[in-house]
């Protein structure tokens, strides 16, 4: 049941098997030309695009910071509520033992 099922092997055999003749290939007189890489243009920032880039980066930093602070705040509120529950349960248990 858990053994793999392999497909049957290829059984194709050509009708005639041609053996290539071993001859010496002629040596080219000149090497093949190398492909030329296209010229790249440098990225040029205008003052307006630099300001937009800086504003976008600042917005990303503010959004990520707000998300991280809200997550930290959620963890802190949860920890405080668990601590308050522990104190209340402890006082209830000690009140039951005294009476």
Residue 13 and residue 21 in contact, taking contact as beta carbons nearer than 8 Å: no
Residue among 84, 82, 83, 89 at smallest CA distance from 97: 89
What digits encode the pLDDT tens for the residues 33-60? 777 777 777 778 898 999 999 999 999 9
pLDDT higher than 70, residue 79: yes
Res 2: pLDDT = 82
Whether the pLDDT of residue 98 is over 90: the answer is: no
Residues sharing a CB contact under 8 Å with residue 53, sequence separation 6 or more, in sequence order: 45
DSSP string for 23-63: -PPPPPSSPPPPPPPPPPPPP---HHHHHHHHHHHHHHHHH
C-alpha 82/C-alpha 99 separation (Å) is: 26
pLDDT-derived band at 88 (thresholds 50, 70, 90) equals very high
């Amino acid at each position: 049941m858990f053994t793999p099922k392999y497909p049957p092997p290829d059984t194709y055999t050509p009708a005639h098997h041609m053996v290539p003749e071993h001859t010496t290939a002629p040596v080219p007189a000149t090497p093949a030309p190398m492909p030329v890489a296209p010229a790249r243009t440098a990225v040029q920032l205008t003052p307006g695009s630099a300001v937009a880039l800086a504003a976008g980066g600042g917005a990303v930093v503010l959004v990520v910071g707000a998300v991280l602070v809200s997550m930290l705040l959620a963890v802190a509120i949860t920890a405080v509520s668990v601590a308050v529950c522990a104190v209340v349960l402890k006082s209830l248990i000690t009140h039951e033992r005294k009476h």
